Amino acid sequence: MSDRNLFAQQEANKRKSAWLVAGFLLFFAWVGFGGDLGFYLYTKDLPPGRYHHDIPFIGLIACTIAALTSRYAWKNGAKRVLDAAGAQELVTPATPELKQLDNVVEEMAIAAGLPKPKIWIVPDQDPNAFATGHDPLTAHLAVTEGLLKVLNRDELQAVVAHEMSHIRNYDIRLMTLLAALVGSIALMSEVLGRFLRGGGRLGGGGRSRGGGGKKGNPAALIVLVLWIITLILAPIVSKLLTMGVSRKREFLADASGAQLNRNPMALASALEKIAAAPDATKGIAKGAGHMCIVDPAEAGLAEREGFVGNLLASHPPIRLRVARLHGMGYLAAKHAGDQ
C-alpha cells in the first residue's frame, strides 16, 4: 500500500469514527426527544388531573446516557473488549511459544513503523486473534492460546501483520467504537422495550388512556409508531452496519498485512488452519466478533455467500480471502521471475 493510500485510509477511518459518534448521539436524541414528543402530543388534550407529559425527561436521560457512553467507549472501549474476552496481558514471556509471539510482534511493529502494541493472551483453545485500541500509541493485540499451538512461525507472523495493518489503518478505533456503541444501542432498545411492554406508564397516569371517549391525537400516534419501529430496528441495523464495515476492512488488512511480511501464502495457510478448527471461539464476546481475524461464529454461517452471508456473517468467506492471497502470491512470484 502506498503512503498516499495509507494516509487516505487513516483519515477516512478517523472521519468515520467521528461520524459514528455523531450518529450515535443523534440516534439517542431521537429515541429520547422523539418519545417525549409522541407522549406530549398524546397527553396534551387529556382532561385536568390526568398525566401530561410536559417535561422531556426521556430525551434528557437518553442524551446523558449517550454522552457518557460515547466518552466511556472512546476512553475505555479497548479495556472493555479485552475484559469481555478474559484476556491476560503478556508481560514476561515464559515459554518458547510466548517468546516467539513477543519477537514476532516486535518484528511486525518495526516493519509497520509503529510502536509495539501491548500483547494479550485469550484463554481459548480455538485459534483466533484481534486488535483493539484508540490509536497506534494505545493499541492492543490479542491472540488465543489455540492460535499459538496450531500456527508455525511464518503463519503467526502473517496473522500479526494482518492485525498490525488494522492498527496502522486506524481500523481499531472504528471497530472498537462500534463494539461499544452497538452494545449500548441494543441495551437502550431493550430498556425502552420493557418499558413499553410494561404498559408505558409515565408519572402518575397511563399514557394510553384517553378521557371522555376522545380519540388519540393522530400526530401522536404517528410519532409513537415511528418511535417503536426505531426501537425494534435499531439493534438490527447497527449490527448489520458493524458487519458491513468489518467485511470491507478484512480484505484490506489481508492485502496490506501480506505486504508487511511479504508472504501472502503464509496468511492464506494460517486462515485455512484457523477456519479448520472444530469449534467457534468461545472466549471472545459476541459483541467483539467483528474485530477478529476470522469470524468467531460457527463455520457454516461464516462461510455463507450471497445475501444470507452478507446479512449474518461479520467476515467474508475464508475461501474468497485465501483465493485473493493466492493471487497476490502468484503475481509476486511472476514479478520476481521476470526480473
Q: What is the pLDDT of residues 254-272, one digit of tens each?
A: 988 988 888 999 999 999 9
Q: What is the pLDDT of residues 183-198, one digit of tens each?
A: 667 666 666 666 666 5
Per-residue pLDDT of the chain (339 residues; tens, 9 = 90+): 544 554 565 566 567 666 766 777 777 787 788 878 888 888 888 888 888 888 888 888 878 877 787 777 777 778 888 988 899 999 999 999 999 999 999 999 999 999 999 999 999 989 999 999 888 999 999 999 999 999 999 999 999 999 999 999 888 887 777 766 766 676 666 666 666 665 554 444 444 444 444 455 777 777 778 777 777 777 777 666 666 566 678 888 898 898 888 899 999 999 999 988 877 677 776 667 778 898 776 555 555 555 555 555 667 888 889 998 988 887 766 666 666
How many angstroms separate the Cα of 283 from the Cα of each of 238, 242, 310? 23, 20, 24
Residue 152: the pLDDT is 96
Residue 54: the pLDDT is 85
CA-CA-CA-CA dihedral for 239, 1, 169, 83, to nearest 10: 70
Per DSSP, the chain holds a count of helices (H) and strands (E) of: 12, 6
Burial class (CB in 10 A: 0-12, 13-18, 19+), 266: buried
Burial class (CB in 10 A: 0-12, 13-18, 19+), 36: buried
**257 Cβ contact partners less than 8 Å away, ≥ 6 residues apart:** 158, 161, 162, 163, 164, 165, 267
Q: Is 272 a catalytic residue?
A: no
Cell numbers for 106:
516486535
Q: Are strands 129-132 and 118-122 parallel, antiparallel or unpaired?
A: unpaired
Residue 26: the pLDDT is 79
Tell me the C-alpha distance between 215 and 45, whole Å. Answer: 10
Residue 204: the pLDDT is 43
The domain segmentation of the chain, as residue ranges, is 3-338
pTM (two decimals): 0.72
* Per annotation, catalytic residue among 11, 163, 190, 250: 163
